[in-house]
Amino acid sequence: MPHDIAWQHDAAARVAATALGPCAEHRGRVEETGDGVAMISGLRNARLDELLRFDSGAVGFAQVLEPDQIGCVLLDEAAGLQAGDAVRGTGDVVRVPVGAGLLGRIVDPLGRPLDGKGPVQGASLSPIERKAPGIIERDLVTDPVQTGVLVVDTLFALGRGQRELIIGDPATGKTTLAIDTIIAQRHSDMVCIYVAVGQKTSAVRRAVDALQTHAAFDRCIVVVAGSATPPGLQWIAPFAGMTMAEHVRDAGGHALIVIDDLSRHAATHREIALLTRQSPGREAYPGDVFYVHARLLERAAKLSAANGGGSLTALPIAQTEAGNLAAYIPTNLISITDGQIVLDAALFQQGQKPAVNVGVSVSRVGGKTQALALRNAAKSLRLDYAQFLEMEVFTRFGGVIEPRVQAKLTRGTRLRAVLRQDQHAPLRLIDEVALVLAVQNGVLDALTVKAVDAFRDGLAGALDAQLADLLVRVEATGILTNDDHAALLELLQKRAAPDG
């Protein structure tokens, strides 16, 4: 049955109309139904995206308007729906609950609880489709989003209000990277929304377990439209999650939304389009698939101070096949977003996790949002790492290696070891600054790769014990003074010494 809260306004409208006396009501009939859609005739005044109610109790929204019939996408299983059933327009659109009552909850795209904790309390309703903020309403993206993932924060820094695509082949750690970013916000002021679209129940369960164990789950919202749910719920899930996140942004807060994933959402859009007999285009996708994702992701923004100064950061996830970034949906999403983090299957299989391909990944905001301490420490890091990877390929052919090249290979190997990171273990800003300084200043050159791992694992404890004041200053200001730089480098050198 449909969500009681979401349709209260519909019942209230009928009561009000009855109190005024007899009135005309536009009604249509179901011509055919199946696979989550219904073709309807007779509702000539229906509008696009209008909520439709069937006498059987099912609800849906008008996705396709033709001269002689309407393509309606159902929002629930409709086993009792059949040809000839009556249907009427409500004059409203699909709305979802928003507000603080959703925090710490697991819900479906209509706001119905999936966690057994009872109905969502104190929530208001907002439409799933909203206009994106205009240029005048936006502000520059300058504030950082600390992901706690060293390779991202140093090479592809993210900013509040940015849209950064996470893309890669199946089973390369895309969801893990996004979940780690949410976990890293446990000490920040960001509200995090995780939207699962078409995911297996086991995958959703792992993600929820990680959030409940490691993240500040009381500031998270999980929206689930699993692979077994009707296509209509899967289609509206990203829009519902975006509406919940916009409520936080418009109130002057900061939100982070992860959509996992838009490749499955595109497949659902294609399925609905084919069932409603829309003209297929490239790879059978309808012509508006680009517009669907563009209007969704454009809603992520950093608002100006005059509009509250809130921000909404989007981390959509997309899937590739055999690393093909030139496929239809990946190219669409890459052109919409402000950069992409590409995960490589070969790196993943080699044990380099996160398996970020630094050659093709990019953030179009980049250093503008980095904390000054990290930006100064990582000035030439990307170039150095790229040179190391290129040299490593050539040295595999054998031959005598010059001392200068060998030194670069040694440092690059240590850098690669530092960039390797366990899942669900985000780093603090000071930890990242310290690790980058250690690599760039050659502190780790004399250590073996195994010793580098031990050095990294014990670094946080040493910083807490010996440089607590410095840690507080850097975390608060993002700035590393000359004196702080010297003190930090001295500690790193002592820890890397043979007797350290």
Where do the DSSP E strands lie in 99-204? 105-107, 124-127, 144-145, 158-159, 165-168, 190-197
Kindly name the residue from 364, 396, 414, 456 that is annotated as catalytic: 364
CA torsion, points 95, 208, 259, 417, in degrees to nearest 10? 160
Contact of 39 with 98, CB cutoff 8 Å: no
Q: Which amino acid is it at 112?
A: R
- The CA distance from 72 to 312, in Å, is 31
Owner of token pair 């030194």: 407
**Is 270 noted as a catalytic residue in this protein?**
no
CA distances from 286 to 95, 264, 283 (A): 25, 15, 9
Helix, strand, or coil (residue 257): strand
Q: Which amino acid is it at 222?
A: V
Contact of 76 with 1, CB cutoff 8 Å: yes
- The CA distance from 431 to 303, in Å, is 30
Owner of token pair 């090249």: 405
Residue 186, burial from CB neighbour count under 10 angstroms (0-12, 13-18, 19+): middle
- The CA distance from 52 to 91, in Å, is 8
CA torsion, points 165, 286, 33, 108, in degrees to nearest 10? 10
The angle that helices 231-250 and 262-275 make with each other, rounded to 10 degrees, is 130
Residue numbers annotated as active site: 364
